[in-house]
Chain A
């Protein structure tokens, strides 16, 4: 049963990539990117987990209580907020594409040719 976290991560990554490949709307594609991002968050937090330990907050506990890894949590929490702003940037790019080309279907938008 110890493979469940890694199997979940692999499943989310594969499903996200499948969504990006077969998407027909750019906004749907950006949603699939957030699924891929969440796979990386789960990987980092699963590496740092330890059975029978508490959160790394020692406000009412002695500092020698076994706790999970705080470094990985610090990485993930800044990543979530910054990932949301990058998603906003991608959405703004989608709006610009719609204004210039009139469609947001990736199948119908080919790279510009000279």
Chain B
């Protein structure tokens, strides 16, 4: 059990907690991006390069952008009563 593996697991646990504890949704979108990068580094260390490709494209680019687009829509939308 190398130190690098333990460090990556602890890092992912920390960023995962950061996603939940970021209560404001705009800040949470950035926390999700950081969590995605940490997860993909963990997947590289666990010898899974395919999975790391998926996670970095999805978790660091696509999901935070969808979150931010939805937040903009929520702010500028006037609900029909």
Contacts and interface: CB of A to CB of B under 8 A. Distances in A.
Asked if A and B touch directly (CB within 8 angstroms), the answer is yes
B contact face: mostly helix, strand, loop, or mixed: helix
Interface residues of B, number: 46
A28 B67 CA distance: 9
Interface in A98-114: 98-102, 104
Nearest to B25: A27
A88 B48 CA distance: 25
A45 B43 contact: yes
Interface in A33-86: 34-35, 38-39, 41-42, 45-46, 49, 53-55, 57, 67-68, 73-74, 76-77, 80-81, 83-84
Interface of B: 1, 5-6, 9-10, 12-13, 16-17, 19-20, 22-25, 28-29, 31-32, 35, 39, 42-43, 46-51, 53-55, 58-59, 62-63, 66-67, 70-71, 73-74, 77, 79-81
Given A16-B20, A35-B19, A100-B79, A95 B70 contact: yes
Nearest to A55: B47
A104 to B, nearest CB: 6
A8 B79 contact: no
Contacts of A16: 16, 20
A104 B79 CA distance: 11
A53 B47 contact: yes
A contact face: mostly helix, strand, loop, or mixed: helix
Interface residues of A, number: 52
Contact of B54 (A39, A80, A95): A80
Contacts of A49: 46-47
A98 B25 CA distance: 15
